[in-house]
């Protein structure tokens, strides 16, 4: 069993469910934390934590028919499989809970959602890294793969540790911000100050004679980090927007790396924990020794596995234990978290497709399918980018794979339309190939306008 399955079993089997503290104790014990650490993080007395934990071990011992305590908890449960009776118990719990809590798939998946699927060991690695002094975490994945949901949980863990947290989204910056490095770094510092509810004091630390990067570093070291009593987790979201401005990216990324390296010798920089979130490869020329992407922890979010799709289906109250339905769905949408969740939502919702996976998959690549509105957004995004449009159509019409120009391949991969392995570009899933091919049947020319007109009128 996984820790998620352990928690779910106890929620399903206990008349009173599972309290927040009980779940914290279970998950923290699974991670190997001491009772002292758990009590400190949860803001309870150690005596209270030990008493509740003892009851949990007793309950789990009765389930597994062997003695369980804190020291052997994970080892025994990881090798233990749910009995048929327990599977039915969990399935019924999921069915009832889904009827109450069914939510339309959106990003990020809320902290209290029962539909968040962990992808071990990613979460535990991220949680462990964020407490390391001066750490850097780089999270890379195409859109709709769960980056925002993971960030939400990482920030919650940091807040539970008593850390300060700030998230900067570079796509919110005005175009004028990217006109020069000086404007960009002043915007950067001003916004971090604002998020920390500190008065911006840029002019007190900015000196054009020593340059913008040094001024920015001094601002962080002598002002922002100095006034903070606890570590600061700084999330830089949508870093891809900076990649579009090569001169700024070529200066910012070495600066970020220098902050990480300063933490090795300057104590105050150990307060800063950086998280860089992006969707595509960086294509600017930058020395390997200056890049922040080869230090710290790099996380590439993978698609869901078959087992994870089955787990999510179970949480929706569906019995997919034989794996056949999961395989059928993944044959069309792969392991894309959003596409999988949208299918499950409709299978248990009130959209006329209750439990009818076959009909859902037949309609999926058509205008009548559940994915039409979502895929139409891609159409609109490609309309003004004929170079990308042509490259994508080349991929979906290929019988095998296409060797695209790296710049185009990275762009299409970042928005989630294709997979790239070496110089091989293929559609991200069969759904995309089937859906977009339909609107090319009447014309050999990619620029005929049929594709765009069809969607404007639809």
Q: Could you list the mean pLDDT of each consecutive 10-residue stretch along the chain, which spans 458 residues? A: 85 76 89 89 84 90 88 89 80 69 82 89 94 95 94 94 96 95 98 97 96 97 97 96 90 93 96 94 57 83 96 88 95 97 87 78 93 88 86 92 92 92 94 84 41 37
- The residue with tokens 């969707």 is 279
Q: 93, 319 in Cβ contact below 8 A?
A: no
Task: Give tens-digit pLDDT for 6-56.
Answer: 888 888 887 667 777 888 899 999 999 999 988 888 778 888 889 999 999
- The residue with tokens 């891609």 is 378
- The residue with tokens 């095998």 is 400
Q: Could you tell me how far CA 200 lies from the centroid of its own chain? A: 31
Helices of type H across 291-336:
306-315, 324-333
**Residue 356 is encoded by which pair of tokens?**
């009818």
pLDDT (0 to 100) of residue 197: 96
Q: 412, 391 in Cβ contact below 8 A?
A: yes
pLDDT (0 to 100) of residue 440: 45
d(CA 307, CA 304): 8
Q: What is the DSSP string of 249-271?
A: HHHHHHHHHHHHHHTTT-GGGGG
Strand pairing of 424-427 and 418-421? antiparallel
Q: 414, 143 in Cβ contact below 8 A?
A: yes
Task: Give tens-digit pLDDT for 265-296.
Answer: 999 999 999 999 999 766 555 555 566 777 88
């Amino acid at each position: 069993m996984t820790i998620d399955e352990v928690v779910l079993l106890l929620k399903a089997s206990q008349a009173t469910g599972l309290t927040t503290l009980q779940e914290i104790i279970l998950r923290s014990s699974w991670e190997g934390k001491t009772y002292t650490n758990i009590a400190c993080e949860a803001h309870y007395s150690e005596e209270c934590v030990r008493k509740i934990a003892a009851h949990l071990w007793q309950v789990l011992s009765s389930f597994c028919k062997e003695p369980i305590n804190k020291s052997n908890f994970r080892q025994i449960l990881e090798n233990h499989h749910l009995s048929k009776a327990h599977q039915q118990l969990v399935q019924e719990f999921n069915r009832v809970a889904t009827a109450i809590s069914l939510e339309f798939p959106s990003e990020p998946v809320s902290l209290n959602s029962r539909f968040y699927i962990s992808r071990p060991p990613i979460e535990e690695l991220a949680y462990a890294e964020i407490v390391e002094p001066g750490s850097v975490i780089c999270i890379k994945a195409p859109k709709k793969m769960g980056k925002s949901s993971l960030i939400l949980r990482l920030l919650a863990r940091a807040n539970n540790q008593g850390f300060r947290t700030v998230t900067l989204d570079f796509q919110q910056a005005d175009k004028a911000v990217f006109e020069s490095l000086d404007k960009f770094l002043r915007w950067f510092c001003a916004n971090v100050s604002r998020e920390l509810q500190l008065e911006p004091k840029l002019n007190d630390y900015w000196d054009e004679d020593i340059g913008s990067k040094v001024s920015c570093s001094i601002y962080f070291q002598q002002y922002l980090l100095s006034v903070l009593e606890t570590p600061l987790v700084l999330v830089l979201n949508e870093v891809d927007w900076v990649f579009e401005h090569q001169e700024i990216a070529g200066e910012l990324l070495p600066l970020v790396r220098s902050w990480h390296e300063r933490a090795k010798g300057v104590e105050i920089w150990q307060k800063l924990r950086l998280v860089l979130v992006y969707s595509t490869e960086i294509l600017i020329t930058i020395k390997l020794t200056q890049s922040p992407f080869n230090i710290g922890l790099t996380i590439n979010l993978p698609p869901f596995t078959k087992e994870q799709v089955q787990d999510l289906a179970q949480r929706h109250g569906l019995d997919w234990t034989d794996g056949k339905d999961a395989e059928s769905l993944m044959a069309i949408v792969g392991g894309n978290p959003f596409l999988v969740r949208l299918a499950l939502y409709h299978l248990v919702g009130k959209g006329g497709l209750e439990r009818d996976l076959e009909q859902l998959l037949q309609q999926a690549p058509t205008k009548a399918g559940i994915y039409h509105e979502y895929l139409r957004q891609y159409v609109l995004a490609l309309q003004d980018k004929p170079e990308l449009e042509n490259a994508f159509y080349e991929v979906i019409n290929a019988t095998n794979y296409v060797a695209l120009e790296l710049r185009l391949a990275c762009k299409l991969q970042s928005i989630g339309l294709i997979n790239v392995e070496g110089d091989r570009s293929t559609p991200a899933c069969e759904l995309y190939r089937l859906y977009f091919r339909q609107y090319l049947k009447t014309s050999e020319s990619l620029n005929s306008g049929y594709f765009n007109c069809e969607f404007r009128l639809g």
